[in-house]
């Protein structure tokens, strides 16, 4: 089944939607190593901030990561239109507007999910953005502001009317933040009311969840965010289950640890030693989640300052889960990890000096 978003044809029903602080170039590179086809997105970018700083690294796209969208947020139609043009000129395949972010810092300025309470302003934004770009426009939103004002069906209808090419619906209200369960039945109501492709979103952590969401909602695709943290293999496993009815095993612990090393080396090389190491800590927490007896290792990984330090701890953990064979497998994979990171789009990565890394 091919999903068409305007002129864009997708070979996958899986979308990894924006996650601020997560879906950066390095995370997306890790995803692309295990899944060539899923749709990707950048982190959200402030349209207002773009007016002062028009070319932030957050909008950098690598050549191998299409199809990918750039997500913008804001509430000033003309500013949003200019931001969308910038996204288009960066080579995005589509522009996504964030109308779902529940964080007070965002909603208090009428951005994100606050726009669901201002449908006429949302309409005006869509109108102006649509006019400003040639690539497809998509919107991501929630079920509504709160349970008393669920308006996702009407809101989606308005977006479709204004020429939005697809939307992603997170099955929670703004008030819920991340509590409770995503209401897949309600997502199904939105899907039923619209003719454009709809990506159902919320609480997919296993391939079987994605299958259930697609069956229950009738959605064209599924957007999987938190489930991919430390677990990029979820994406191809979903595709295989959905397309072929085959459930692949998740990779073993040592393979996860090798991927963690790849991810954090990428972050350190791309963002620099200090920021990269800081940002690596949360990802290390995700990669080691669920590994038996990992808690003391995770506590140490939460403080790492360098790639070498992380690898020492990861090697100990590989020994813990796989004995000498596990540790050896981890260590023997490291040279490949380092050369793989060099392969991240050279045009984008900061100049690499691998000689500084001793393994």
Ligand X SMILES: Cc1cc2nc3c(=O)[nH]c(=O)nc-3n(C[C@H](O)[C@H](O)[C@H](O)COP(=O)(O)O)c2cc1C
Catalytic residues, which ones? 101
CA dihedral (331, 29, 15, 227) positive or negative: positive
Chosen residue from 5, 44, 261, 265 binding ligand X by CB under 6 A: 44
Chosen residue from 67, 202, 236, 326 binding ligand X by CB under 6 A: 202
Q: Which is nearer to ligand X, 18 or 232 (CB)?
A: 18
226 is a contact residue toward ligand X (CB under 6 A): yes
**Is-contact 205 179, C-beta < 8 A?**
no
18 is a contact residue toward ligand X (CB under 6 A): yes
237 is a contact residue toward ligand X (CB under 6 A): no
Using CB under 6 A, count the residues that bind ligand X: 22
279 is a contact residue toward ligand X (CB under 6 A): no
47 is a contact residue toward ligand X (CB under 6 A): no
Smallest separation (angstroms) from ligand X to the CB of 142: 8
Q: Which is nearer to ligand X, 197 or 326 (CB)?
A: 197
Binding to ligand X, residues 75-134 (CB under 6 A)? 98, 100-101
Strand ranges across the sheet with 94-99? 14-15, 221-223, 198-201, 166-170, 137-141, 94-99, 68-73, 40-46
Smallest separation (angstroms) from ligand X to the CB of 248: 20
Q: How far apart are CA 355 and CA 317, in angstroms?
A: 25
Q: Which is nearer to ligand X, 103 or 299 (CB)?
A: 103
Chosen residue from 170, 189, 263, 298 binding ligand X by CB under 6 A: 170
Closest CA to 77 of 135, 38, 131: 131
Q: Which is nearer to ligand X, 108 or 346 (CB)?
A: 108
Encoded tokens for 40: 């990707």
17 is a contact residue toward ligand X (CB under 6 A): yes
Helices 152-161 and 184-193 cross at an angle (nearest 10°) of 30
Q: Please, which residues have CB within 8 angstroms of residue 336's CB and are 6 or more apart in sequence?
A: none
Q: Which is nearer to ligand X, 17 or 77 (CB)?
A: 17
Q: Which is nearer to ligand X, 224 or 264 (CB)?
A: 224
225 is a contact residue toward ligand X (CB under 6 A): yes
22 is a contact residue toward ligand X (CB under 6 A): yes
Q: How far apart are CA 79 and CA 90, in angstroms?
A: 17
Planar angle of CA 256, 260, 263, nearest 5 degrees: 135
Instruction: Count CB-CB contacts under 10 A for residue 33.
Output: 16
Smallest separation (angstroms) from ligand X to the CB of 229: 8
Q: How far apart are CA 330 and CA 156, in angstroms?
A: 48
Smallest separation (angstroms) from ligand X to the CB of 57: 16
Question: Hey, which bits of 218-287 come out as E strands?
Answer: 221-223
Would you tell me which residues interact with ligand X (CB under 6 A)?
17-22, 43-44, 71, 98, 100-101, 140, 170, 201-204, 224-227
């Amino acid at each position: 089944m091919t999903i068409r978003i305007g002129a864009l044809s997708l070979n996958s029903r899986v979308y990894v939607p924006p996650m601020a602080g997560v879906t950066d170039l390095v995370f997306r590179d890790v995803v692309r190593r295990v899944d060539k086809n899923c749709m990707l997105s950048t982190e959200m970018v402030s349209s207002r901030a773009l007016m002062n700083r028009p070319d932030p690294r957050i909008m950098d796209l690598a050549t191998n990561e299409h199809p990918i969208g750039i997500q913008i947020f804001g509430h000033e139609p003309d500013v949003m239109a200019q931001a969308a043009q910038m996204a288009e000129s960066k080579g995005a395949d589509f522009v996504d507007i964030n109308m779902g972010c529940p964080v007070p810092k965002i909603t208090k300025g009428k951005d994100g999910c606050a726009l669901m309470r201002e449908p006429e302003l949302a309409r005006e934004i869509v109108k102006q953005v649509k006019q400003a770009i040639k690539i497809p426009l998509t919107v991501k939103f929630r079920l509504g502001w709160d349970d008393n004002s669920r308006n996702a069906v009407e809101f989606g209808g308005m977006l479709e009317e204004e020429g939005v090419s697809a939307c992603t619906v997170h099955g929670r209200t703004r008030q819920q933040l991340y509590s409770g369960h995503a209401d897949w039945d309600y997502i199904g109501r939105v899907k039923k009311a619209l003719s454009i492709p709809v990506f159902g979103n919320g609480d997919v952590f296993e391939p079987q969840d994605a299958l259930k969401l697609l069956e229950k909602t009738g959605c064209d695709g599924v957007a999987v965010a938190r489930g991919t943290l430390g677990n990029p293999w979820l994406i191809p496993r979903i595709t295989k289950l959905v397309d072929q009815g085959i459930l692949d095993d998740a990779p073993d612990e040592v393979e996860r640890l090798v991927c963690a090393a790849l991810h954090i080396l990428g972050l350190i090389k791309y963002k620099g030693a200090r920021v990269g190491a800081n940002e690596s800590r949360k990802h290390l927490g995700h990669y080691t989640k669920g590994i038996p007896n990992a808690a003391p290792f995770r506590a140490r990984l939460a403080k790492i300052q360098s790639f070498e330090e992380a690898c020492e701890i990861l090697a100990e953990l590989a020994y813990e889960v796989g004995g000498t064979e596990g540790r050896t497998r981890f260590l023997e994979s490291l040279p490949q990890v380092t050369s793989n990171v060099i392969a991240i789009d050279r045009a984008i990565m900061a100049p690499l000096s691998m000689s500084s890394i001793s393994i």
